[in-house]
Amino acid sequence: MWRSLTDLQIGDADGLKEPYVVTDVAPRVVSAIEQWAETGAAPAKSLTAEDIEQFEAIVQGLTATEHMRTRPKRAPYGVLALDAHPLTAAIIDMLLDGGVPITLDSVPSPVCSAQQLAEVRYEAACRVRPGPPVARQIALLTSAYVADPARIAPLMREDQPFVAVSIGDYSVEISPVVIPGVTPCPMCQEAHRTTIDEARPILASQLRTKPVPPLSPALTSLAAALAVQTIAAFGYGTTEIPPRAVVLDTTTLRAGVRSWRFHPGCPCRHPAPLMD
């Protein structure tokens, strides 16, 4: 935005970041900045040496203050998707937009068809950006009502961090990133529920056999965005401590949080820790 005929302001005073102001800037330099922001292109050869010097100073300033960040070609972490449920597919779609490499497990899943799995795998293969191997990988799975222990057990054995999404009749729960041996797992949560209600294992075994309840488009988008936020925080090393699950009300779309401790009867603390 122009503050005057020669002074330029980038960003609004929204209370989160101070605007970046450049004085005595030529319109041709502004055009070069706009082109750089959109495509990452170098300044045109028609600019004078003085213009190029000003261009480089502005680019350096914008980058340092994070007013403009070039889109990353590839995220430093990857995601192993264990199914292609529509909510998982929505999460994958957002992650691919952020340059996150996606790998889809080939093992059939109880929450999606083979055709859904093939379609999402093809989409991911077409959109994954080339780059070096990722430093860390997070597994992702969606279950009906309660996290499926049969699908979680291999992840725990292999010290594979994961996010478990559980879809119920009245809520969608997005677990924190579970790090085997380091953070409480979904089975700890079930063990705590069993302490309160001894019939819980019988109820949970029935719930796991039921089909996944349908989600509205709005709820799918919101749950996917919150799952991506959880995954990205771990991928970029900014995970909240202590980790907490996010619980969405399927009617009001209001979000709450839930946390639990290690359960003494759960063996999840025994695998070798991935992180000290």
Cα–Cα distances in angstroms (integers) from residue 244 to residues 65, 137, 176, 189, 192, in the given order: 31, 20, 5, 12, 16
- Report whether pLDDT(20) > 90: no
Q: Place 68 in a pLDDT band, splitting at 50, 70 and 90.
A: low
pLDDT in the model for residue 272: 47
Which residues lie below 8 Å from residue 207, measured CB to CB, with a gap of 6+? 144, 145, 146
- Between 151 and 12, name the one with better pLDDT: 151
Query: What's the pTM value of the predicted model, to 2 decimals?
Result: 0.75
Residue 186 and residue 151: Cα distance in Å, rounded? Answer: 11
Return the closest-CA partner of residue 174 out of 137, 201, 212, 147.
147
- Report whether pLDDT(12) > 60: yes
pLDDT in the model for residue 67: 62
List, in order of start, the domains of the chain with CATH numbers.
Answer: 8-65 (no CATH), 78-259 (3.40.50.720)
Tokens linked to 243: 């980790």
SS3 of residue 40 by DSSP: coil
Residue 225 and residue 228: Cα distance in Å, rounded? Answer: 5
Cα–Cα distances in angstroms (integers) from residue 71 to residues 38, 99, 185, 243, in the given order: 9, 9, 34, 28
pLDDT in the model for residue 276: 37
- Report whether pLDDT(26) > 70: yes
Rg (Cα) of the chain, in Å, rounded? 23
pLDDT in the model for residue 140: 96
Residue 99 and residue 77: Cα distance in Å, rounded? Answer: 9
- Report whether pLDDT(249) > 70: yes
- Between 240 and 110, name the one with better pLDDT: 110
- Report whether pLDDT(40) > 50: yes
Percent of the chain with pLDDT over 70: 89
Residues 30-46, mean pLDDT to the nearest whole number: 73
- Average pLDDT, rounded, for the chain: 85
